[in-house]
Amino acid sequence: MKLYEDEKKKLLLVLKGVDKIALTTDMWTSNQQFGYMALTAHFIDKEWNMQQRIINFTEVEPPHTGLVLANVIAKHLEEWKIKKIIISITVDNASSNDVLVRKLKENMKKSGISLYYGGKFFHVRCCAHILNLIVQDGLSAIKDEIISIRDAVKYIKVSPSRLHGFAAAARELDLSTTKKLVLDVSTRWNSTYFMLETALAYKDAFARYSMEALGFVWLLGPEDWEKIAVICDFLQVFYDVSTLFSGSSYATANLYFLEIWRVQEILQEKVENEGGFMKAMAVKMKENFDKYWKSCNLLMIIASILDPRVKLTLSEFVFSRIYQSREEREEQMQMIKQSLQDVYESYIQKN
């Protein structure tokens, strides 16, 4: 505890020299059903290096409503004396977090704190979480196949003797892959993607193993495996985008707009050119994408404009593909240019 107090004093001194902090927060529930909140501060130091510090990891008593969570965060911001320099908070897309952000903004205004740009950019929705929601909806189109593979992997991984028998079946077929079977976490689409991808590499081994293991009954037909191959190829793009968003050693905000447009283009192509289950999957995902796109944070678009490889050109190009009417495109561009001007003027006032 003495070490903790000493480190806390050092960090308080560091944060005194910072003029802008962006927060991220998330809730996690343990196996014992205790709820914990992590609160992380992200900032640029005097040497222009990106820094992040977990400033609190706290058990939160239920109920975990937006109001309760907002009060917990406000208390920690007071404790760290950084309430006046918070410019944004990134949260996942749960409805309780909409309440959290609204209450936090109200709390700060009551304390006489003027939010940056009038709070226009304060609420940032987690891009990786939005992708997760979109893909989870799409995966429901092959839920029966996913359940079959999950049961098959679970059956094999439950004992060393079954794993040994499956490995022997793979060796007999001289399969070149060295990947291990993956059992997914159903709430995390990327783990489901890994499970499907690995199972696909071992599809012949599953058939061979079923000849030896009489209790192994979860076999898929050629059409099912073909469907999974198409899905894995499709999900590779989402995995690449999600991995890019999750990077912690480089800036990611400037990459958001381009990658989100890339996702939109792929979904549009599948909706227009595919048939059967793939079209049904893409249509469902596209509906959700369009819903989340409307809540896209303007700050992400501004970050892409500040990328010298992109500037305003990308925004103009993307809007020409997304919005049908010229008036709507011009209205969106005008809003972005005005927001960019607002950010610029706020810096002028301080310098």
Q: Mark whether 278 and 187 lie in a shared domain.
A: yes
Q: Mark whether 279 and 179 lie in a shared domain.
A: yes
Q: Mark whether 92 and 152 lie in a shared domain.
A: no
* Residue numbers of the domain that contains 328: 297-351
Say how many C-beta atoms besides its own lie within 10 A of residue 257's C-beta.
Answer: 21
Q: What is the CATH number for 60? A: 3.30.420
Computed on alpha carbons and rounded to an integer, the radius of gyration of the chain in Å comes to: 24
* pLDDT over 80 (residue 295): no
Return the SS3 of 250: coil
Q: Mark whether 33 and 168 lie in a shared domain.
A: no
Q: Taking Cα atoms as reference points, which of 215, 238, 235, 216 lies closest to residue 227?
A: 235
Q: Mark whether 276 and 167 lie in a shared domain.
A: yes
Give 26-46 pLDDT, tens digit per residue: 998 888 889 999 999 999 988
Return the SS3 of 20: coil
**Domain final residue, candidates 125, 160, 180:** 125
Q: Mark whether 290 and 146 lie in a shared domain.
A: yes
Q: What is the pLDDT of residue 294?
A: 65
Q: Mark whether 234 and 138 lie in a shared domain.
A: yes
Q: Which long-range contacts (CB under 8 A, 24 or more apart) does 306-310 make?
A: 306/254, 307/254, 310/254, 310/257, 310/258
Q: Mark whether 206 and 118 lie in a shared domain.
A: no
Q: What is the pLDDT of residue 297?
A: 67
Strands laid side by side in the 35-44 sheet: 50-60, 35-44, 21-29, 86-91, 123-125
* pLDDT over 90 (residue 218): no
Q: Mark whether 36 and 63 lie in a shared domain.
A: yes
Q: Which residue has the higher pLDDT, 71 or 218?
A: 71
Give 172-193 pLDDT, tens digit per residue: 999 877 889 999 988 888 899 9
Q: Which long-range contacts (CB under 8 A, 24 or more apart) does 142-146 make?
A: 142/227, 142/228, 142/231, 142/277, 142/281, 145/220, 145/224, 145/227, 145/228, 146/192, 146/195, 146/196
**Domain final residue, candidates 90, 125, 160:** 125
Q: What is the pLDDT of residue 284?
A: 87
Average pLDDT on 95-118 reads: 90
Q: Mark whether 177 and 301 lie in a shared domain.
A: no
Q: What is the pLDDT of residue 296?
A: 65
The number of folded domains in the chain is 3
Q: Mark whether 23 and 135 lie in a shared domain.
A: no
Return the SS3 of 61: coil
**Domain final residue, candidates 96, 125, 154:** 125
Q: What is the pLDDT of residue 248?
A: 74
Average pLDDT on 240-257 reads: 83
* pLDDT over 90 (residue 275): no
| The token pair that represents 276 in the structure block | 């059967």
Return the SS3 of 42: strand
* pLDDT over 90 (residue 314): no
Q: Mark whether 149 and 82 lie in a shared domain.
A: no
